[in-house]
Every structure is written in C-alpha cells, then in structure tokens.
Chain A
Amino acid sequence: MSGRWGVFVYPAIGLALIVTAWHLYVVAFKVAPVVMPSPASVLQSIVKNWRLLLNESWVTFLECVYGFALAVVVGIVLAVLVSSSRILNLMFYPILIATQSIPKVAIAPILLVWFGTEIESKVAIAFIVAFFPMIVDTATGLRATPQDLLDLARSLKCTRWQIFWKIQVPSALPFIFSGAKVAVTLAVIGAVIGEFVGSNRGLGNLVLVANASVNSALVWASLVYLSLLGMLLYAAVALAERVLMPWADAPHA
C-alpha cells in the first residue's frame, strides 16, 4: 500500500487501532462512563445529538471564521505598515511583541465587558489570538525579499508600488500562509476560550453544559466536533494556499 491511497489508508488504520485500544481499556477495566465514555457511546451521542452538535458547531464556526478573517486583514495591513516604515516599526513592533506575554485567557473577561456575551466578544478573542502569527509572519516575509530581486526591480526602474505588488507580496506569500495556518488553529482556541468565559452558545459552551450535567459522552462528542471544525478550517487555508501559489506544487527539474 503506497502512493495515493496510503495517505488515507494508513491514518485510518492508526485511528482504528487507537479507538480499539480505547474500547478495550474501558471494557477491561470497567471504567465509569463519567470518567471515560466508551467509543460506542460517544458515537451514539454524536448520532443522537446531531442537530444540537451541528447548530452549536455553526456558532463556533462563525466565531472562528470572523475572528480569523479579521486577523488576516488587520495582521497583513499592520505588517505592511511596520515593514515599510522604519519609524513605525521601531515605535510599535517591540510593544506588539511585549503584549504577547499577556495570557489571552486573562484578557477574555475584559473583552466580555467590552463586547458583551454575544458573538462579538468571541470574535474579538479569536481575533486577538490569531492576529499575532499573522502580523509576525507577514512582516518577516515582507522583509525577506531576496536582495537580487530588489536589484532587478531597481535596474528596471520599478515604482515603489510595483516592487510591493509584483515582488514583495508574492515572495512573502509562503510566510503569510504559514502564519495563516497557525492563526486559523489558534482562532478555534480563542473562540472556545470566549465561550468558556461567558456564553450560552457554541461547542465550547456545550462542553461546559454537558460536563455540568455529567453527560460525558456529549462532552467527548463535542470534542470530536471541535477537532473536525479545526481540521476543516485548516484544510480551507491549505486549499487557498494551493490555489494562490500554484508554483509551489510544480515538480522540480
């Protein structure tokens, strides 16, 4: 088994092994369902509560997407500003790095006060968590333009604008996408933090509610959905990368 199908089959076998081990462990040691539900009961819960899980997923999905989209736009714009002006860079970049030492969970209650318990506060937290890798990676990418390409641009008398759009941006794209991949997974974490701190909707909230009512199968089912949500968002970014950077896939000479 190699080549195309291997990338699907082997992970599936790995997953099957882990689920089997989980099942045998729960059965053999008679683990209480509250402590660890069996794979079967989690699956049962997923099937039984599919409408609830989908509804709550949709809420969390929107929080993630809005927060991530904001992080991409604001992160790229600010990265362009700090990488094009030395003064702006010196004024704000160190402060930006310094603010990263603040644990985002600690900011969440403040954002809740500012934005309320509706979707806005979750979007804000998802944005704050996802924003940092976006700006740092984009700024790094914009500053990493190969010198020989800049020489070429100068020898052709490119305008500042042409250098930016035709040379700096395309050569920064791999950096921007690696930032976006980190950002999109962080956005999911941010949204869940927001729901934990104050919300009555979303998958994070469902985890809390199910946990409080000792429905651990539903807690685990929510976790499965959260991980599916994270994978879906990551796959969307990876797909965008393939579409926007077709040269990256071309085989070497």
Chain B
Amino acid sequence: MLRILAGLTEATRGKVEVRGRAVTGPQRDFGVAFQSPTLMHWRSVIENVLFPMEVQGRKDAAARSRARGLLKLVGLEGFESVYPKQLSGGMQQGAAVCRALIHEPALLLMDGPFGALDELTRMEMNDLLLEIRRVTKATVLFVTHSISEAVYLSDRVLVFSKRPARIALELDVDIPYPRTPAVRYSAHFNEIEEQAGVALGVTR
C-alpha cells in the first residue's frame, strides 16, 4: 500500500488523493523512507541527505545548513562526511530519515524503516521520530509490524488483517504528548495494544 501511496506501484483499484489531488506517480513533496536505509555507499552521509535537493537542482547553502540541522536532530552531528558503511544500522536509518525530510515534504511515508533494528535502537529511533515530527510538523504515514511501535508513534492506527489485507480496525490513540518511554507501560497504552491485537487475531 505504501508503494502505491508513494506512486511507485500502480493501484489495481481505487485511487489515492492527497488534499483533493489525485496521486498517480511519485510526488516531489512526499518524502519516502524505505525498509532498508537505501543509502548510496559512495556518498558521504551529508551528500546522501542532500541527494533529493541535488536532483531538484536546489543543493544550496540553505539546503546544506538544513541537512546539518537534521543530522544533528538524529544524533549524527560530526558524522557528516563519513561514508554510510562506517555507521551502525540505526545511524544509517537515521541518515535515511534525514534524506526523506530534507526537501521539507508535506507527507513523510515510512515503510517500516526500523523493522531491522534491535529493540533498544528501535525505541531510540521512535523517540527520535516523535521529536522530528514535533520540530518539522510533517504528517507521517508509518507502516510497521510492531503493535507497540504503532501505538507509541501514532495519533491514528489502521490495523490491517492477514491476507487478504483489509482494514480490520481504526484506532484513535489519545495518549497525550510529549510521549516518553514510560508511557509504554501504562494501563491505557496496554489497553490500546490489546484492541489492536484482537483486531489482528493474535489476541483473543
């Protein structure tokens, strides 16, 4: 579904509309973060982040300083000129998120970008994403296989059933911001998790 939203795969049925505008192909005001970091190993971290700006011919001083700011936000200050392979998996994914945000997209599409990370790094990246969202005010559409990640990050959760995938449940998450890791252990959080689990058929 995320590939359809990103305009990478054509929909067999139905249509995508963003603010009344039909989406039939890739959009320049969308940012996409893939499952894997998808960094170019021949470019330094900052050159990777600046790639969308370069493609659009807008790699100027303003873009550079924005890139530095984003990298600082994900804790990659001082790593601007290293190559991706010199970073850990979480740091690479952080750089990929910066790249998805560099052109100040109105909509950030994230295809389970933290799925391959270890639990600890993943939780750190979750807090980072909340922070990024607070600062950039971008709308984020996030795909994940983790119920707790979905609840922790979202205002609204769409639970997809097993194949054939249908929307099994629509959940509003009313946990107030700022959210901190402690909230993961609250009764209310667990309650929402359980609702999602029931809809998925993993909890009875």
Contacts and interface: CB of A to CB of B under 8 A. Distances in A.
Interface of A: 146, 148-149, 151-158, 162, 166-167, 170-171, 173, 245, 247, 250-253
B41 A155 contact: no
Interface stretch (B26-34, B64-72, B119-127, B180-188): B26-34
B92 to A, nearest CB: 9
A146 B85 CA distance: 16
B203 interface: no
A185 B190 CA distance: 67
B6 interface: yes
Which of A162, A170, A251, A253 counts the most B-chain CB atoms under 10 A from its CB?
A253
A162 B55 contact: yes
A152 B32 CA distance: 8
B40 interface: yes
Contacts of B36: 148
Contacts of B25: 157
Decide if the interface of chain A is mainly helix, strand, loop or mixed. helix
A155 B40 contact: no
B12 interface: no
B24 to A, nearest CB: 13
A157 B55 contact: yes
Contact of B26 (A154, A162, A167): A154
Contacts of B38: 146, 148-149, 151-152
B72 to A, nearest CB: 20
Interface in B4-44: 6-8, 25-26, 28, 30, 32, 34, 36, 38, 40-43
A250 B82 contact: yes
Contact of A247 (B26, B42, B56): B42
